[in-house]
Amino acid sequence: MGKFWNSLYQKYRGSKLYRYAEEHPRWKRFFEILYRYRYGNVLWIGIIYPIWFKSLESRITVSTGYHIMHTHMDDLIPFCEWFIVPYFLWFIYIFAGLVYFMFTNKEDFYKVSLFLFIGMIASLVICEIYPNGTDFRPAYLSEKNIFMIMVKNLYRVDTPTNVFPSIHAYNSLCMHIALLKSKELRAARYGKFVRYFSCFLCIFICIATLVLKQHSVLDVGGAILLCFITYGFVYGYPSFALGEYWEKKSEGKETNTMDKEVNRIG
């Protein structure tokens, strides 16, 4: 991919567009930024998800049949249309997070992108192998307020199929973990506030999937489990890090023991 961009840049240098940019500083600055953050092109992989998901939506319907994701706990959770706000804030949350990492840390950007994409593709594979859906959406929704209308429109465009695991919950967890691990964010002036707000929003998005009757408790639980599994592929499992810590600590103890022995003999 690097060779491709370098080749494209060389062609650009010899083109009329380059000469035009040289005469117009704003355009020159724009193309410089575009080249500098060219690694953002990995986001094109995200196009695969909506295409594949749309295909699943058309193939897995009530007539074809699917496994129902429904527990007793789902019946105890009340419906609340107000949570449509954090549910839709999910789109801004994920997009803003990706943009932040793209402009602050290339390595972190690659990691969070991989974190998101692995889980999203895995969820599609799960739905292909194990078609699933819910059956507890409200039978009737009034239009008493703007939030009810928004929920009604959501139900119209998003069928209650292909729900396990919940991508809303999974992506929110991934983004929050990535923000917590960001060194740049920890050093930033408002970094602590952003991390707390991210935690607050992540929790409310997960709750929103339940109280809007978009997902079952099983779906959110599946998202948490999938997040734990994919975390290891991207950042390494905590158990491995703990093993390295104890290994270094034991090596330190052995070194101290040897030094004491040498000092005693000397």
**Distance (Å, rounded) from C-alpha 40 to C-alpha 230?**
21
**How many alpha carbons lie under 13 Å from residue 88 in its C-beta half-sphere?**
10
Task: Assess whether pLDDT exceeds 50 at residue 5.
Answer: no
* Per-residue pLDDT tens over the stretch 111-132: 999 999 999 999 999 999 999 9
Give residue 212's pLDDT. Answer: 97
* Per-residue pLDDT tens over the stretch 46-99: 788 999 999 999 999 888 889 999 999 999 999 999 999 999 999 999 999 999
* Per-residue pLDDT tens over the stretch 235-259: 887 655 555 555 666 666 555 555 5
Q: Which helix (H) or strand (E) holds 67?
A: strand 67-68
**Distance (Å, rounded) from C-alpha 56 to C-alpha 3?**
36
Instruction: Identify the three-state secondary structure at position 161.
Output: strand
DSSP type of residue 83: G
Tokens 């706000």 locate to 85
Task: Assess whether pLDDT exceeds 60 at residue 262.
Answer: no
